Amino acid sequence: MNNPDHIEGKYFSKDLPLENSAIDLTSPLWTVEEVASYLKLQPETVRSMARRGELPAIKLGKVWRFRKVAIHEMLASMG
At residue 23 the predicted structure's pLDDT band, cuts being 50, 70 and 90, is low
- In a domain, residue 1? The reply is no
pLDDT tens, position by position, 27-76: 799 999 999 999 999 999 999 999 999 999 999 999 999 999 999 999 99
CATH label of the domain that carries residue 47: 1.10.10
Indicate whether 29 belongs to any domain. Answer: yes
Q: Give the Å distances, CA to CA, from 69 to 3, 23, 66.
A: 25, 10, 9
User: Is 65 within a domain?
Assistant: yes
Domain membership of residue 21 as a residue range: 6-77
| pLDDT for the residue 12 | 42
Tally of domains within the chain: 1
What is the Cβ-side half-sphere exposure of residue 43, based on CA atoms within 13 angstroms? 8
Q: Is residue 31 part of a domain?
A: yes
